[in-house]
Structure 1
């Protein structure tokens, strides 16, 4: 559960690539579950892409266009993974602060 003033960074961008945030104290609500599901898909896609990149890098016949395409896809996946990591890291930090406050 997040304090009312805490915002969750969502795993998608808004208009003009700006970050989207969710303000809720219901981690089981529709938008929270949707964000959790999208994060899981993004992480799974990044894992799949990592295998594809390894295959292309190991292919001596792969041309510059193949490598450029993989780097473009890898850049997008890395951006998504970092957004998930930042969001989850922030949520963990907030949870840790709440747990510390409860122990006092």
Structure 2
């Protein structure tokens, strides 16, 4: 059994962990959430490229984009940390 950092926040923005063998229902839900978050991050990069290239983009549009990118980067960093922890844990088993 290992601890897994989940790809969502708990109460008051605190980290959520799962004690798991990697095969349970919550682990599968977390895998699905991670996949969705990564796909959305990829789509956001495409939108960002389009908006940055648009000389008519307003400050409000760019601020909105920047906030969504901050949220997405937070999610991607959490996923990377979680996966890194699991990889490091699997080397010691």
TM-score, reference length from structure 1: 0.87
CA RMSD of aligned residues (A): 0.7
CA distance in 1, matches of 2:61, 2:92: 46
1:8 to 4, 9, 12: 4
- Normalising by structure 2, what TM-score? 0.97
Corresponding residue SS for 2:72: helix
Gaps of 5+ in 1: 99-104
1:78 is matched with: 73
2:20 is paired with a residue whose SS is: coil
Q: Which residue of 2 aligns with 1:34?
A: 29
Q: Larger Rg: 1 or 2?
A: 1
Q: How far, CA to CA, are the matches of 1:58 and 1:29 in structure 2?
A: 44
Q: Hey, which of these two has a bigger chunk of strand by percent? A: 2
Q: Which has the higher contact order (CA 8 A, sep 6+)?
A: 2
Report runs of 4+ in structure 1 exceeding 6 Å deviation: none
CA separation in 2, counterparts of 1:10 and 1:24? 11
2:89 is paired with a residue whose SS is helix
Tell me the matched-pair count: 93
